[in-house]
Amino acid sequence: MSHYFDLFIMVMICLSVIDIILESEESLKVEYSSWFQFFEFFSVLVFSIEYALRVWTCVEHRKYNSSLFGRIKYMSNPMALVDLIAILPFYLPFVGIDLRFIRILRLFRIFRVLKMARYSSAFNLIKNVFKEKKEELLVTSVFIVIILIIISTLMYYLEREAQPDHFSSISKSLWWGIVTLTTVGYGDVYPVTALGKALGGIITLLSIGLIALPSGILASGYTEQIIMRKEKKKKN
C-alpha cells in the first residue's frame, strides 16, 4: 500500500506541475479555466490531506515523539516546509491578504515539484552527494568567489576610462566576471582596451578549468554514492 500511495502522489505532483505550466498559457487558461480550477482544488485537497496526516502521525517516530514540540519540529524540517509551501497559496485568499500579493505567491505552486524528492531515490542520491562533498564544494566556491572579485577589480581599473557605462564600479564589473567565469559570455559587456582583452582572454581560458572543479567534485561524489549503493544491495 505504501508503494502505491507513493506512486499516486508522484503522479499527482507531475500532473500538478503540468497543470501550472499549461495554465500560464493565456489562451488555454481562458478556454479550460474550469478544468484548471477543478484540478487545482483536487490536487490541493490531496496534498493537504497528505500533509495533515504526516503532521498527525510524525509523533510515531522517536525523533518527533512529543505531541506538541515534536510536531513543531517536524513542521520546521525542509521537506515539511516544501509540503506546506506547495499548498499555502491556495488558502491565503481566504484570510484576506492583498490579491496582488496572492498572485505573486501563486508562482510558488511550482515548488510542488520538490515534493518528488521525498519519493525519488535519485533525489536522495543527489542529496547524499551534496552532504558528503559539502566541505570540498564550500572551499571551491570560496576560491571561485575570490577569483571573481580579483578579476572584476582588475577589469574595472583597465576598462573604467574606455567604458564608464559598463565598468563604472567594481560591483558593475562583477557582471562581466560572472558571465566570463561561467563561460556563458553574453556579449553585452566585454573589454575594448588591449590590456582588457588580454586579461579577458586569459580569464576565459582559466574559467574552463575553474568551473570544472565543482563539476568534478559532484561527479566523483555521485560515482562513490552509486558504488556504495551497489555494495549495500549485494550485502542485503
**Residues 17 and 72 grouped into a single domain:** yes
- In sequence order, the 6+-apart residues with CB closer than 8 A to the CB of 47 are 12, 16, 83, 86, 87, 112, 115
Q: What's the whole-number average pLDDT of the chain?
A: 81
Total domains present in the chain: 2
Q: Find, among 48, 30, 215, the residue nearest to 115 by Cα.
A: 48
**Residues 160 and 197 grouped into a single domain:** yes
pLDDT for residue 104: 54
Q: Within 13 Å and on the Cβ side, how many CA atoms surround 115?
A: 31
Q: Find, among 155, 144, 156, 220, the residue nearest to 182 by Cα.
A: 144
pLDDT for residue 45: 92
**Residues 106 and 208 grouped into a single domain:** no
pLDDT for residue 120: 64
pLDDT for residue 52: 92
Q: Of 119, 150, 171, which residue constitutes the final position of a domain?
A: 119
Give the range with max mean pLDDT: 31-35, 88-92, 102-106. Answer: 31-35
Question: pLDDT tens digits for 160-211?
Answer: 888 888 888 888 888 888 888 877 767 778 888 898 889 888 888 888 888 7
**Residues 101 and 163 grouped into a single domain:** no
Q: Is residue 49 situated within a structural domain?
A: yes
Determine the length of the chain.
236
Q: What percent of the chain has pLDDT over 70?
A: 86
**Residues 85 and 146 grouped into a single domain:** no
CATH assignment at residue 152: 1.10.287.70
Q: Is residue 125 situated within a structural domain?
A: no
Domain with 99 in it: 2-119
Q: Is residue 128 situated within a structural domain?
A: no
**Residues 108 and 12 grouped into a single domain:** yes
Helical segments of the chain, H only: 2-23, 26-31, 33-57, 69-75, 78-91, 99-105, 116-119, 121-132, 134-159, 170-181, 194-235
